[in-house]
Amino acid sequence: MEEWIGNRWHKFITRRADRGFPAAAVELEAEKKTIGVLFRALGGAPGVRIEAASAQEVFVRRSWLQRLAGSAQSAVIAWQDGDALRLPPLLQVFPQQSLNRDLYLWLAILAARSPQQYRNWALDNQRLVTEALTQFPALRPRYRRLVEALLPLRPAPESLPDDEAELERAIRRALLDPQTATDLPRANRAPQPVPLWLYPQAALDDPLAVAADIPEEGDCTAGSTQSLSERKRGERAEERERRDGLMLFRLENLFSWSEYVNLERSEDDTEDEDAAAAAEDMEKIVLSRQRNQRSSSIRLSLDLPSEAYDDLPLGDGIRLPEWDWHRRRLLEDHVCLQAYYPRNGDPAPLPQHLRRDAALLRSQFEQLRTQRCWLRSQLQGEEIDLKAWADFCASRLAGHAPEPGVYQSFRATHRDMATLLLADLSMSTDAALDEDNRVVDVVRDGLLLCAEALASVGDRFAIYGFSSVRRQQVRFTLFKNFAEPHGDPVRGRLLAMRPGFYTRMGAAIRQATLILRDQPQQKKLLLILSDGKPNDIDRYEGRYGIEDTREALSEARRAGLHPFCITIDRSAEEYLPYLFGQNGFTVLNHPAHLPLRLPELYHQLTH
């Protein structure tokens, strides 16, 4: 009974203390595409993601009702760094949905012009507002509506102490007339957040960023495949001197999850089921640096199999470059790629459950061995090529006399195609799709069926897989090279496919480019199968991995290759357009359909 009354009271008093307008709320997820298009169209970096920000602790004056409810101790503010533009996940500042939607777009406009470092938060925001209104005068009525709707919602200066009242008046002048560049005076308390301005990153530094004096081998540890829904605020805490002895406390003084406890804990890489839920509940994540020497501890990587069970290495490692987007340059010989041959990949026939589909695909693809098509701009042929004739007439009137190839002929041509299929074999492909299948199982079946189709049409093709364990070991598994004919040995190696490790995609694409570039065929297709974005357990995550992969794809295009990605990652539309372009990828909503969809997509790409 007490718990029921307590819950009712909490909901009632929290609702009364809330100064927002829930009925007019607008969600970031519904506006993310529009915000992204506007942000990039006005000059925002293409690699910057649009993400939800988390609540930050604020020290503002609260009303007695807010103090009674224990609310308004934190606020969600908009800020930006090199990786993402972080906006409130829900905007309910104004009583009209149109104004809340306009506020999202206004923040995107400011962020597109925002500097990475703020010298003076208030003056820099006023400068951004002035530049935006000067360059786009049509925004002036919209900005005026936002300011006029915001001012009545802010605290009245008459109700504040003198120093806070002066600060509030300065904010109002800065909002109404940003061209005057009004500086903000100091006050004992912080002002109410200004929803129309971006906040600096300086106070929101990522606590997970590696300090300069930590060696690269200890950059990060492997994390959970789940990610927090919001960006958390962090703080570093210095590790205090450890002393042996008793810890005396009263039982009612036990710490909560969100309080820092200076205890030495054993290091463990296993996933804590409660850690993700605890991190979601925490407003601030506090980290301290362990000062133990590396020689004083032993750390085993249980992901790496022993040599007796691992795949067979082929030769020495290959040194490859990697793009460092922080320095804007290519790091030569930065990555070591090791080729592997699948262990236990004995020759085997096609599995029984795939034989019917394979027979159907072979009968369909055999018809593509020799295609009949129209050859245009020929010196002789069956019909007039109207486009070539129009071009010839225009050139002649312009004073040029090109060779009059104005005919078209319907002839049989041969396919001149080389394809390299590159499969992501990271540990995420070990995830279960249903009771009987994992992601890696449908990837394997898709490659088996695609190999049958390509062999029947006579196209030259190769199949490789990749995964990684930091930059020192990018694993590149050989299933079929271009010189080997398709048969039971290839099928056996595909059946021996195993998932593991991480996704350093840039190095794998560079090696695939080197292999495919040497083929004599005129058309070259690099077909990538992936289930997630590039990542690794060192700094190869976030925008670093995205930018390196994008640079590797640009190198592939300059080499005459056509890269295309097939993915089952439902969030792929947030980053794949930046990597492959709007028409360079496809997302499969049902991963189980991959085995049959893969040959169909190949036919569409090469027809």
pLDDT tier, 182 (very low <50, low <70, confident <90, very high otherwise): confident
Give the SS3 label for residue 91: strand
Report the range of poorest mean pLDDT among 250-264, 346-360, 393-407, 465-479. Answer: 250-264
End of a domain among 414, 445, 474?
414
Same domain, 70 and 180: yes
Question: Which tokens belong to 182?
Answer: 């009004």
Segment 399-423 mean pLDDT: 76
Same domain, 255 and 327: no
End of a domain among 171, 204, 237?
204
Question: Which tokens belong to 323?
Answer: 């793009």
Residue 305 lies in a domain: no
Q: Is the pLDDT of residue 348 over 60?
A: yes
What integer pLDDT is reported at residue 268 of this predicted model? 47
Residue 248 lies in a domain: yes
The residue ranking higher by pLDDT, 340 or 539, is 340
| SS3 letters across 58-73 | CCCCCCHHHHHHCCCC
Residue 535 lies in a domain: yes
3-state helix, strand, coil in the chain (%, to 5): 40, 20, 40
In the chain, DSSP finds a helix count (H) and a strand count (E) of 16, 20
Report the range of poorest mean pLDDT among 123-132, 278-287, 352-361. Answer: 278-287
pLDDT in tens, 590-605: 888 888 888 888 888 8
Same domain, 454 and 562: yes
End of a domain among 272, 300, 328?
300
Residue 306 lies in a domain: no
What integer pLDDT is reported at residue 531 of this predicted model? 86
Boundaries of domain holding 357 = 312-365+416-606
What integer pLDDT is reported at residue 68 of this predicted model? 64
pLDDT tier, 160 (very low <50, low <70, confident <90, very high otherwise): confident
Same domain, 192 and 296: no
Segment 516-536 mean pLDDT: 91
pLDDT tier, 514 (very low <50, low <70, confident <90, very high otherwise): very high
pLDDT tier, 589 (very low <50, low <70, confident <90, very high otherwise): confident
Residue 601 lies in a domain: yes
pLDDT tier, 270 (very low <50, low <70, confident <90, very high otherwise): very low
Q: Do the bridges between strand 407-414 and strand 90-91 make them parallel or antiparallel, or are there none, so unpaired? A: unpaired
What integer pLDDT is reported at residue 147 of this predicted model? 93
Residue 467 lies in a domain: yes
What integer pLDDT is reported at residue 103 of this predicted model? 93
Q: Structurally, how many domains does the chain consist of?
A: 4
Same domain, 519 and 574: yes
The residue ranking higher by pLDDT, 96 or 267, is 96
What integer pLDDT is reported at residue 546 of this predicted model? 92
Segment 353-376 mean pLDDT: 78
pLDDT tier, 284 (very low <50, low <70, confident <90, very high otherwise): low
pLDDT tier, 254 (very low <50, low <70, confident <90, very high otherwise): very low
Segment 379-392 mean pLDDT: 80
Q: Is the pLDDT of residue 347 over 90?
A: yes
Residue 507 lies in a domain: yes
What integer pLDDT is reported at residue 76 of this predicted model? 82
Q: Is the pLDDT of residue 573 over 60?
A: yes
- Provide CB contacts within 8 A for 125, sequence distance 6+: 110, 174, 178, 194, 197, 198
Report the range of poorest mean pLDDT among 294-303, 363-372, 585-594. Answer: 294-303
Same domain, 126 and 250: no
Same domain, 216 and 183: no
What integer pLDDT is reported at residue 373 of this predicted model? 63
Work out the mean pLDDT of the chain and round it to a whole number: 79
Residue 307 lies in a domain: no
Same domain, 432 and 527: yes
From residue 424, how far is each of 82, 188, 450, 568 by CA, in Å?
27, 55, 16, 11
Q: Quick one: CA dihedral 500, 504, 507, 511, positive or negative?
A: positive
The C-alpha atoms of residue 312 and residue 400 are separated, in whole angstroms, by: 63
Residue 587: give its domain's CATH number: 3.40.50.410
The C-alpha atoms of residue 355 and residue 476 are separated, in whole angstroms, by: 28
Same domain, 276 and 328: no
Same domain, 379 and 267: no
What letter does residue 82 receive in the DSSP assignment?
S
pLDDT in tens, 20-37: 788 889 999 999 889 988
Same domain, 360 and 375: no
pLDDT in tens, 48-89: 888 888 877 766 777 656 666 666 667 788 888 878 888 999
What integer pLDDT is reported at residue 4 of this predicted model? 75
Same domain, 388 and 534: no
The secondary structure of 315-365 as a DSSP string is EEEEEEEEEETTTTEEEEEEEEEEEEE-TT----PPPGGGHHHHHHHHHHH
What integer pLDDT is reported at residue 371 of this predicted model? 58
Report the range of poorest mean pLDDT among 146-155, 243-252, 518-527, 568-577. Answer: 243-252
What integer pLDDT is reported at residue 497 of this predicted model? 92
Does the pTM of the predicted model rise above 0.85? no
Q: What percent of the chain has pLDDT over 90?
A: 36
What integer pLDDT is reported at residue 396 of this predicted model? 79
pLDDT tier, 304 (very low <50, low <70, confident <90, very high otherwise): low
Segment 153-175 mean pLDDT: 90
The C-alpha atoms of residue 121 and residue 197 are separated, in whole angstroms, by: 9
